[in-house]
Structure 1
Amino acid sequence: MEAVAKLRDCPTSPRKMRLVVDLIRGQKVEYALHILKYNPKEASIRLEKLLLSAVANWQAKNEGAAIEESGLIVKEAFVDGGRQLKRLRPAPQGRGHRIRKRSNHVTLVVDSKKDQKES
């Protein structure tokens, strides 16, 4: 059984978030948590909480199953662009430059290795 966790409208640009998501895609959950814990990027803090949420969702679906025995892995992880807040920054000679404050949506899917071998 796979479990999904989503983070919506995270105020980080999708490009910066993808750098961290690429590190954990396909990794074991324990290893991915260690990567996120010691990664200096701000996006890793949000992803660590999201991964813990996905693991909790998996535990809720699979009552009585242990994480260590199941070999839980990050099956899918992807980042989509969210809404953009458009702001104006004052520029010389009375002009204004547009600033796009980007956001993103992150989706994590965790699954046990036992389930993947069966399918």
Structure 2
Amino acid sequence: MAPDTKVLLLLILQLLLLLLLLLLLLLLLLPYYYYYYYYYYYYYHYYFSYYYFYYYYYYYYYYYYYYYYYYYYYYYYYYYYYYYYYYYYYYYYYYYYYYYYFYYYYYYYYYYFMVTHN
């Protein structure tokens, strides 16, 4: 073989050995890659799981909070108007009661006066 061919073959052999060493290095680093990959995967997985858990927890908390708030708000004003409805109902009831009472006695004394003084 010519000397330049031998040098070329040695260079190719060295490149192949270098590629083989790089491949072995990658194979050695592969477990660490998977370790950190799964570590960060599960870390962010649980992180976002708790994040969404608390997010939905507070979402439903405020949902039920406003639900009961408007429920008692409605309840309160329902009985408020209920109370005032009956309040005015009895007010006008007694008002007309005394009105007719007064009316009755007024005409009673009026006719009594007319009968006794004629």
Bigger relative contact order, structure 1 or 2 (CA pairs below 8 A, ≥6 apart): 1
Common topology (TM > 0.5): no
Length-normalised TM-score, structure 2: 0.19
Structure with the bigger percentage of strand: 1
Structure with the bigger percentage of helix = 2
Bigger Rg over Cα: 2
